Structure 1
Amino acid sequence: MAAPLTHFALNADDVPAARTFYERVFGWTFTAWGPPGFYHIHTGTEEGPQVQGAMQQRRELIDGKPTVTPECTFAVDDVDATAHAVIAAGGRILLERFTIIGVGHLIFFEDPAGNAIGAIHYDPAGE
C-alpha cells in the first residue's frame, strides 16, 4: 500500500516572523485558513510541483516535546486500518481519528523512533 507525502506543516513560536523568512527564502505565499494563526502555504505554481503546506503556532503532538521539525502527513486509503497497523508495528496513536469537514479523516501517531506522523484519508464529503 503506497502512502504518498501530501502535506507538511511548519510550527513556529513567532508565526509572522517564520512567514516572512519563508517568503524571502523560497518565495512561498500564505493564505489564512481555519483557526487564528494558521496559514496554507503555497509552495509552487499550479503548473509546477507543489505539496500542500501549513504554517501554524508551535504545538506538542507528543506530550512534553514541542514540535520542532516539520510535520509530515501521508495519504492513506483507510485511517482506521492505518491506526491498527501503527499499533501492531510498535507505534502509538497521538490523535485519534479526527474529521476535517470538507477535507478528510486524519490521525497522528508516534513511530518507534519518536517521530510524530500524520495519516489522512482525503474525503471532501466527510463530516
Structure 2
Amino acid sequence: MNKHEKLNYVEFPSEDLPETKAFFEKAFSWTFVDYGPEYTAFSNQGLDGGFFKADMNSSTENGAALLVFYSSDLESTLEKVTKAGGEIVKPIFSFPGGRRFHFTEPCGNEFAVWSDKELD
C-alpha cells in the first residue's frame, strides 16, 4: 500500500541488466518485470524498485545511500551472496546492536546485510 510521504521506490544503475537480474534471482529469489531493454523492476522485497541501464554504480565510496537487508542467519545469507556471484567488500563485523557485511552485486552496486543475532 502506498503511504503519503513515505519512501516508496528505489532505483539503481546497472551496466548489465541480465547479469544484475540473475544475481538477485539466485541470491534472494527476486522476480523482475522488464519495461523495455533498459529498465527492469522488482517488488515485494521490503521496498519496490528497479534497475536502469547506465555505465555507473551505487556505492558508499562515491557517496551513495546504502540499502541494507535484514537476515536472521547472516552466515547463510553471506554464502548465498557469494554463490550468486556477489563480492564481499566488508566481511562480517560487529557494531552496537548486531553484525553485518557489505557486498557488491556483479555490476558494482553496494548493499549490506545485517542481523541482530550474535554468534553462539
Q: TM-score by structure 2 length? A: 0.45
Q: TM-score by structure 1 length? A: 0.43
Q: Which has the higher contact order (CA 8 A, sep 6+)?
A: 2
